[in-house]
Amino acid sequence: MARQKKSGYKATAPSFGPWLRQMREQRDVPLRVVAAAAQMDQAHLSKAELGQRLLTVQQAAAIARYFKVDAAEMEARRIAEKFRTEHADNPAAAQAIQILHEASLNSGKKHY
C-alpha cells in the first residue's frame, strides 16, 4: 500500500544535476546534443548531471536557452547547488540560508 503524504508536507525540488537530467530525458535529447549546444564536453555535462561537477555561468545560460527555461531560475539553481556542495557539511549552513531569506524579505520593505 502506498504511503500517504502528511498534511503540510512539502516535496523538495530535485538538486541541480538530477533536474538537468530530468529536463533532458523528458525531451528525449541525447547528452551529446545538449553538451554541443552549450559548447562543452559531454563528460563534463554528464558529471554535472550526476552532481560531481558544477556548470559555469555561461554553460548554464546556454543550456537554459537550449531548453527554453528561465535563465534566472537556471542560475538560481546553479548557485544553490554550488552553496550545497561547498557547505553541505557545515552546521551553520541552514542558519546562513535563513539569514539570506530574511535579508531578501527585508529588502522589499521601504524605510523612511
Angle at 19 between CA 38 and CA 40, to 5 degrees: 15
Is the pLDDT at 6 greater than 80, yes or no?
no
Mean pLDDT of the chain: 86
- Residue 81 grid coordinates: 547547488
The architecture in CATH of the region 16-107 reads Orthogonal Bundle (1.10)
Average pLDDT over residues 24-41: 97
Please tell me the predicted confidence (pLDDT) of residue 108: 64
Is the pLDDT at 13 greater than 80, yes or no?
no
CB-based contact 15:51 (threshold 8 Å): yes
DSSP 16-30: HHHHHHHHHHHTT--
Indicate the domain borders of the chain: 16-107
> pLDDT digit string (tens) for 75-103?
999 999 999 889 988 999 989 988 988 88
Give the residue with greater pLDDT, 15 vs 13.
15
Residue 46 CA: distances (Å) to CA of 30, 50, 69, 93: 11, 6, 19, 27
Cα Rg, the chain, nearest whole Å? 17
> pLDDT digit string (tens) for 63-76?
999 999 999 999 99
Average pLDDT over residues 12-41: 93
Model pTM score: 0.75
CB atoms within 10 A of CB 60: 22
